[in-house]
Each structure stands twice: as C-alpha cells, then as structure tokens.
Amino acid sequence: MDRHFTLLVGSVLGASEYVADAIAEALRARGYKVTILTQPDMDDIEADSTWFICTPTHGAGDLPDNIQSFAAQLENED
C-alpha cells in the first residue's frame, strides 16, 4: 500500500511514545508506511502523509517541551 502515516510524538515520561509505537505496529501490520517523529518539524513531514499527533498535556494544558516548537510552526502556517 502506498499510504503513509506520520506519527508526531510529544512526550514527558514516555507514555505517548508507547502509544505511538503501538499505533505504528498496527499500521505496519496492515502494510502501511509509518514514520515516527519525536522531535517533529514541518520540514521533516512528507506532504502526502496522514498525521497522528500523540501527546499529553500537563500542568495547565502545556504541551511537552519536545513538541512545542512544532506547535508554534503549526500556528504560523498559512
């Protein structure tokens, strides 16, 4: 299959990475191409991929440090 999924992972203690790994395993078992990005950047994402964003919030709804710059990129996209 040609469909491609990109899993964008924000994580503090690793639970979101565990979820992303499980999703990736299930998708790969069905023949899909999967990329997992734990330091996501818009330049690293294939244009034709479908995104899954796996991230918790903590504190007052704050995103984990490793995904904050990606969230800022999304906010600035046209």
d(CA 20, CA 7): 6
Per-residue pLDDT at 1: 62
Domain residue ranges in the chain: 17-31+47-78
Least confident residue range of 17-21, 68-72, 73-77: 73-77
User: What predicted TM-score, i.e. pTM, was given to this entire model?
Assistant: 0.87
pLDDT of residue 59: 79
Please, which pLDDT band fits residue 58 given cuts at 50, 70 and 90? confident
Residues 1-27: tens digit of each pLDDT: 689 999 999 998 899 999 999 999 999
